[in-house]
Structure 1
Amino acid sequence: MHRVAPMLTLLTAAVFLAFLEPVRAAEADRYCLRGRNWGFPGNCQFATRSQCLAAASGTNAYCGINPRYAAPRRR
């Protein structure tokens, strides 16, 4: 019985993290780096506009909201 409790705890944590990871991934792609060198919608790996602007600094790129967040979600 002593070995079952740690295994159950690990299994519970793994299932929780598996469901939590898509939420974190979705939060990380709210802004897209756009420009001549990027396809549409661009490099959408930025969680904040400040992060995107820092990456665009000194280049011929600009930042925009990811189209997945700009359009209302359909059900």
Structure 2
Amino acid sequence: MRKTQLALLTLGATVLAGFVTITPAAARDYPWCAQGGEYDYPGECAYSTYEQCQASVSGRLLFCGPNPLFAYGQAPQSRLQPRRRPRPIASY
């Protein structure tokens, strides 16, 4: 009985440690997006080539379009940017 409890505690601690180390998937933006149907704009942007996108959308009532971040040269920016405080004016 004691060995079973120790084994379950060890297993639980291992599983918990695994969940703690999981980080959210990094958003990868590729040049081509599957658009339409179940996807909001800009769509599922997970395709390096137009051919990959076409193979994925085949038979799904979707279409391929360019990723706007690549098409218009905009780099993705972090949502959390530190606020800058104005510099105090030096008085002489």
TM-score range, shorter chain: 0.5 to 0.7
User: C-alpha deviations, 1:16-67, integer Å up to 9, x for none?
Assistant: xxxxxxxxx55xx110000121011000000000000000001110000000
Runs of 4+ aligned structure 1 residues displaced above 4 Å come to none
The residue that corresponds to 1:54 in the other structure is 55
| Larger helix percent | 1
- Which protein is bigger by CA-based radius of gyration? 2
How many residues are aligned here?
49
Compare relative contact order (CA 8 Å, sep 6+) and give the higher one, 1 or 2.
1
Structure 2 CA distance for aligned equivalents of residues 39 and 32 of structure 1: 11
When the two structures are superposed, what TM-score results if normalisation uses the length of structure 1? Answer: 0.58
When the two structures are superposed, what TM-score results if normalisation uses the length of structure 2? Answer: 0.48
**Paired-residue identity, %:** 33
Structure 1 CA distance for aligned equivalents of residues 68 and 50 of structure 2: 14
